[in-house]
Structure 1
Amino acid sequence: MTDARQAFTRESADARRTGLIEATAAVLAEQGLAGTNVRAICAKAGVSPGLLRHYFAGIDDLVAATYQATSDRMDAIFAEAVEAAGDDPRARLSAHLTASFRPPVTDPELLGAWTAFWALARGDARMAGIHAESYAGYRKRLSELLTACSAADAGRLAILLTAMVDGLWLELSLDAASFGAEAAVEMIERALGALLP
């Protein structure tokens, strides 16, 4: 009986933490850093400010947890795209790169949250660490996919392609009508055609 109650309580706690993280991402996206505070987050989550402090040491901890959760979510999306592409190394590489131009990565709310995270990473050591780890992991997986395609200097090529994808994603997120998702995919495919053996 006690085990069932503890499992229920833990699920409930996990759901509350997740709800606060999702609310924080939404507030960051809607109001930016200036409008992100305990009251706005708790209003969005439909909870009292005391509950936030029950699960997180403060807003800085919650924002860091939100960045980590968002990074983990993106990693999972890219991994799913690669797995869905099958066994062909070139198709897997393409799927990894072009997932950035498809939902849910193209969700407009993600841009607002992501730019807030980038801004915080410039002056907050914990956020900088999350950023460094996230991007290092992305580039490592990309480098492995490039190596499977017999790419020379896969590490540097991963840096180049990451910057290209980030730039296209940012422009597409700011103005979807400027060139469109399919044009972004085509640009990445053309770049791969020129860069790979």
Structure 2
Amino acid sequence: MTRAPFTRETADTRRQALVAAAETVLARDGVAGASVRAICAEAGVSPGLLRHYFDGVEALFAAAYEAVGQRIDAALEAAVAQAGPAPRARLSAFLTASFKPPVLDEQLLAAWLAFWSLVKVNAVFADIHRRTYAGYRARLEDLLAACDPSADARLAAIGLTAVVDGLWLELCLDPTVFTPAEAGAIAERLLAGYSPTPVFLD
């Protein structure tokens, strides 16, 4: 029997499986427990295969951090698209999407915390963090400006990003303190303070 050729699709599938496994193991065991053996066991591949696709565990972790950021971006953009054409509705959808699945997820939080632990000690992760949050703030600035060109979109985006992050973190850690709806209401109230006009209060 002739063995099927090794295809690009198979390679991509295995690479993605390793990235997903790295996220799962990081969320479960943290950076200290995320060994090559544990990750490959989670992915269902031999330990030697990791080196075939990545220049070590650090490169795999970086790919996983990028992948998680892209997944969050996709979820936020999907929420904006579903909100319709009204600028205010699109802005609200972007802000409150972080308080709903798939962004509001305990495993995603655990993996994100593992990535954050590497940001201050590793330049590669610091760069990913910088680019990820810059993209988030830029998108938020665009949505803010579409609602009210007179608002200070840059400062509003910085403040609201910090607020959303904090609310998301607390919701994932202890959802008994407040509800996702209340988190959204808090973000909306703070949003109103950045506009010199009542456009953010509708």
Range class of TM-score, shorter chain:
over 0.9
Aligned residues: 192
Structure 2 equivalent of residue 184 of structure 1 = 183
The CA distance in 2 between the partners of 1:67 and 1:194, in whole Å, is: 33
- Match runs of 1:109-128 below 5 Å: 109-128=107-126
Contact 2:19 2:63 (8 Å CA) reproduced: yes
- CA RMSD, 1 decimal: 1.3
What are the ranges of 5 or more consecutive residues in structure 1 without an aligned counterpart? none
Contact 2:171 2:180 (8 Å CA) reproduced: yes
- 2:20 pairs with 1:11: no
Structure 2 equivalent of residue 163 of structure 1 = 162
The CA distance in 1 between the partners of 2:52 and 2:66, in whole Å, is: 19
The CA distance in 2 between the partners of 1:19 and 1:101, in whole Å, is: 27
Per-residue displacement from partner, 1:19-59 (whole Å, max 9, x unpaired)? 10000000010111111110110111111111111111110
Which amino acid in 1 is paired with 2:29? Answer: Q
TM-score (norm 1): 0.94
Structure 2 equivalent of residue 84 of structure 1 = 82
Contact 2:137 2:161 (8 Å CA) reproduced: yes
The CA distance in 1 between the partners of 2:28 and 2:55, in whole Å, is: 23
Per-residue displacement from partner, 1:79-113 (whole Å, max 9, x unpaired)? 11111111111110010011000001111101111
Aligned-partner SS, 1:34: helix
Q: CA deviation at 1:193?
A: 3.1
Contact 2:156 2:191 (8 Å CA) reproduced: no
What are the ranges of 5 or more consecutive residues in structure 2 without an aligned counterpart? 198-202
Which amino acid in 1 is paired with 2:171? Answer: L
Structure 2 equivalent of residue 147 of structure 1 = 145
Aligned-partner SS, 1:106: coil
